[in-house]
């Protein structure tokens, strides 16, 4: 080749986070020593964040196919599920943990921006966002600052972009003191015949970079996300990108308008690893090559070289492949939306990603060798079960003394940071923007949005109890899937698929990797039982600081479909005199419960029983009850058990309740056990026979508990709480504790 090369050594490769073995593999692929530009590209594309090199072999065990699946996990930027009437739902969840730990506002904001681009780069219009957040102990000096910055970043980007945030979760645990988790999920809808593929095809077709100019922000962001956090991380603020939601809104509208023409061949957003990622992934998918001239890329900083341009993670940019001869049509659209549209390259037939600078070839790499599922490394890591799990699993909660006052125990749970109202958070999110939200803001177990132009609706939730996973990862991860399915079913929807964000510690440590391996197994078991696919997601390793690893946190993003969105169901009690009933059976499931953590300061014991069949029967029953209009409210049992679920339903409906029922279990189990496959429902007197028949047909246990009404939360002779006292603690304790 007539090229200008600056060969680099092993030491330089090591400084880029590559291993000696990976450097040898690069020499073999290229047949020579790499240039500095090439080494930078390999280091970004082979980072854990981009290549999934230490997880991909495990992820292949997930069930990915199904009758509704249009795009399987890994094929495109996000999964696609057919929801009928010529429409598909597109959804994905990703992490922005490390950037948010360093710069919480921009880290969280650009996490939202990145996941939105994954959705609309496939031709889908985003209609909802969710988030799953983990922060440290309330007493830790950074917790309030991190939460405040992250929430402001999420609300700023979503509100300005114009997409409602309809659901989410927030948990607090000391393991997240130095390493918060910020997982962002987006959901969109696309006409099946308007789906955009992220492939570069057709040799000679022009390649454009569209959107914002390229700067130095985010360089080596992918590598930054592929190492443990430390004091040195604070010096890596340039690795955190800067977001512009208004620019992204323009990019959305221009992209969807272009998709309605015959000019578009393919499109890929620029997230981790920036231009070099999109310029290698698109030809790899298309079986082609791509030639990039960095001198043609608009930049907002002077003296940027090819290395910086290729690795920049500046936000709000797309790589667009057009049909040759249609450039004018695309340029007119982008000009209309006031966006840069730089013709920077061309599709080739040599299967190489070639980088030109000043007319010289400064890099030339086989495109497929860079990408996940192609030539990127695939490592099978050792896993070893930690010895300390035996003691945690064998812990017996029955020897602990009961509370002296059940009222005080319930109040302590209602003001627990993992249960108390998140109103001060979700009120910062505009969950009604776009006028498609049917239910959000904590009024339902799942956010519910209407699909514009149809009667259909989508229900969605994010779920994970990391305490369960930290003691029994296989069971805990399966329970996370089932909780997500129960949540969308309680809202009236049929679960159709999941996306996951797998947040774990350093994978090079066998005891850490054990939790990942077992969690993948548990997720697979639950999805197979539910007959739903894993449509894609994200693995986030290296969630570990000097103080230790975070609790293993495989967050599950669940999506369900309502054929008629008017049938959606909330959690709030509705009418005086309605019957309150329990679907399912409460057992001795106090292990790893919120009650043990709050009242006894214990995180131990076996997680709740995993009964796939019982969950499946309940998950099939709940949408039927909603469709037939039998139930007026539905709320699954989770953290805090029956007593907390009853309280949340009363508080949501602003009406009390009187429960008087016989019991066989210990009082503490009846009130606070977190038994799965259970849901609390209300029905009118007239619908009680229909509820009994439906429960019998689905073989789901049913027990009458009491009635709605009054100004007290009353449960047998154990609990008698004024509703207003419960509300004051539930609504205000978390914000007061954080000083926000």
Q: What gap in Å lies between CA 658 and CA 646, rounded to an integer?
A: 10
- CB within 8 A of 697, min separation 6: which ones? none
Catalytic residue among 16, 96, 98, 567: 96
Q: CA-based angle 444:704:673, to the nearest 5?
A: 65
Torsion of CA 86, 87, 88, 91, to 10 degrees: 170
Q: Which helix (H) or strand (E) holds 388?
A: none
The Cα–Cα gap between 237 and 235 comes to: 6
Q: Give, as one character, the DSSP assignment of residue 236.
A: G
The helix or strand, by DSSP H or E, that contains position 580, with its residue range, turns out to be: strand 579-583
- Long-range contact list for 62-66, CB < 8 A, 24+ apart? 62/520, 62/523, 62/524, 62/527, 62/533, 62/534, 63/524, 63/527, 63/528, 63/532, 63/533, 63/534, 64/533, 64/534, 64/535, 65/533, 66/497, 66/531, 66/532, 66/533
State both tokens at 204.
Answer: 């000679």
Residues in the chain: 740
CA dist 640 and 410 (Å) reads: 8
Tell me, rounded to whole angstroms, the distance of Cα 278 from its chain centroid.
Answer: 22
Three-state secondary-structure class, residue 713 = strand
Distances in whole angstroms, Cα of residue 420 to Cα of each of 10, 297, 412, 727 = 53, 49, 10, 10
What's the token pair of residue 721?
Answer: 């709480």
- Is residue 96 among the annotated active site residues? yes
16 among known catalytic residues: no
Token representation of residue 182:
């910020």
- Residue 477 DSSP code: H
- 562 and 568 in contact (C-beta within 8 Å)? yes
Q: Name the CA radius of gyration of the chain, rounded.
A: 26
Please count the other Cβ atoms lying within 10 Å of the Cβ belonging to residue 307: 22
What's the order of all strands across the beta sheet hosting 352-357? 264-269, 317-322, 206-211, 340-348, 289-293, 352-357, 360-366
Look at residue 186 and give its three-state secondary structure.
strand
Both tokens assigned to 269? 């957003």
Give me the catalytic one of 16, 49, 156, 698. Answer: 49
Torsion of CA 173, 174, 176, 178, to 10 degrees: 160
* 387: CB partners within 8 A, 6+ apart: none
Please identify every residue annotated as catalytic: 49, 96
């Amino acid at each position: 080749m007539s090229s200008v090369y600056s060969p680099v050594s092993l030491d330089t490769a090591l400084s880029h986070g590559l291993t000696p073995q990976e450097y040898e593999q690069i020499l073999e692929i290229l047949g020579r020593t790499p240039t500095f530009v090439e080494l930078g590209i390999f280091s970004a594309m082979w980072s854990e964040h981009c290549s999934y090199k230490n997880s991909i072999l495990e992820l292949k065990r997930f069930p990915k196919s199904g009758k509704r699946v249009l795009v399987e996990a890994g094929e495109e930027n996000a999964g696609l599920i057919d929801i009928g009437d010529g429409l598909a739902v597109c959804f994905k969840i990703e992490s922005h943990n490390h950037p948010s730990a360093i710069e919480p506002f921009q880290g969280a904001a650009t996490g939202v921006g990145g996941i939105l681009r994954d959705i609309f780069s496939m031709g889908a219009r985003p209609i909802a966002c969710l988030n799953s957040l983990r922060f440290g102990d309330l007493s830790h000096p950074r917790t309030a600052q991190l939460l405040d910055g992250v929430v402001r970043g999420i609300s700023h980007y979503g509100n300005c972009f114009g997409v409602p945030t309809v659901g989410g979760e927030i948990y607090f645990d000391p393991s997240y003191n130095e390493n918060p988790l910020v997982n962002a999920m987006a959901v969109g809808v696309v006409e099946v015949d308007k789906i955009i593929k992220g492939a570069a095809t057709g040799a000679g077709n022009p390649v454009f970079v569209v959107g914002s100019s390229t700067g130095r922000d985010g360089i080596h962001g992918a590598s930054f996300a592929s190492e443990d956090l430390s004091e040195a991380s604070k010096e890596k603020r340039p690795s955190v990108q800067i977001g512009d939601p208004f620019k992204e809104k323009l990019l959305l509208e221009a992209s969807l308008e272009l998709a309605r023409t015959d000019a578009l061949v393919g499109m890929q957003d620029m997230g981790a690893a920036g231009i070099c990622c999109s310029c290698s992934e698109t030809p790899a998918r298309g079986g082609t090559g791509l030639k990039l001239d960095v001198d043609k890329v608009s930049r907002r900083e002077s003296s940027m070289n090819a290395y910086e341009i290729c690795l920049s993670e500046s936000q709000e940019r797309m790589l667009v492949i057009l049909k040759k001869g249609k450039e004018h049509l695309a340029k007119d659209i982008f000009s209309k939306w006031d966006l840069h549209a730089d013709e920077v390259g061309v599709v080739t037939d040599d299967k190489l990603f070639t980088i030109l600078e000043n007319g010289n070839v400064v890099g030339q790499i086989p495109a497929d060798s860079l990408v996940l599922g192609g030539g990127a490394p695939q490592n099978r890591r050792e896993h070893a079960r930690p010895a300390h799990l035996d003691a945690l699993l064998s812990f017996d909660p029955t020897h602990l003394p009961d509370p002296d006052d059940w009222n005080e125990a319930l109040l302590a749970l209602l003001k627990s940071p993992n249960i108390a109202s998140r109103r001060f958070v979700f009120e910062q999110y505009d969950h009604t923007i776009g006028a498609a939200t049917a239910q959000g803001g904590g009024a339902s177990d799942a956010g519910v949005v209407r699909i514009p132009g149809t009667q259909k609706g989508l229900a969605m939730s994010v779920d994970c109890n990391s305490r369960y996973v930290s003691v029994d990862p296989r069971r805990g991860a399966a329970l996370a899937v089932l909780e997500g399915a129960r949540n969308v079913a309680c809202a009236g929807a049929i679960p159709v698929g999941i996306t996951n964000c797998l947040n774990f510690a350093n994978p090079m440590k066998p005891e850490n990797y054990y939790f990942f391996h077992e969690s993948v197994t548990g997720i697979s078991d639950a999805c197979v039982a539910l007959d739903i696919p894993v449509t894609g997601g994200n693995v986030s390793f290296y969630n570990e600081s000097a103080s230790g690893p975070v609790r293993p946190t495989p967050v599950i993003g669940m999506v369900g479909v309502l054929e008629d969105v008017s049938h959606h169901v909330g959690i709030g009690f509705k009418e005086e005199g309605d019957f309150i009933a329990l679907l399912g059976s409460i057992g001795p499931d106090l292990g790893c419960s919120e009650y043990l953590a709050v009242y006894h300061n214990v995180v131990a014991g076996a997680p709740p029983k995993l009964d796939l069949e019982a969950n499946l029967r309940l998950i099939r029953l709940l949408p039927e009850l909603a469709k037939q209009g039998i139930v007026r409210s539905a709320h699954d049992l989770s953290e805090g058990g029956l007593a907390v679920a009853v309280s949340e339903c009363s508080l949501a409906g602003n009406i009390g309740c009187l429960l008087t029922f016989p019991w066989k279990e210990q009082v503490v189990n009846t009130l606070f056990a977190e038994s799965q496959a259970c849901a609390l429902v209300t029905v009118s007197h007239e619908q009680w026979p229909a509820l009994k028949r439906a429960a019998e047909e689905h073989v789901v246990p049913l027990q009458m508990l009491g009635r709605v009404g009054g100004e007290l939360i009353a449960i047998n002779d154990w609990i008698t709480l004024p509703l207003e006292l419960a509300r004051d603690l539930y609504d205000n304790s978390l914000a007061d504790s954080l000083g926000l």
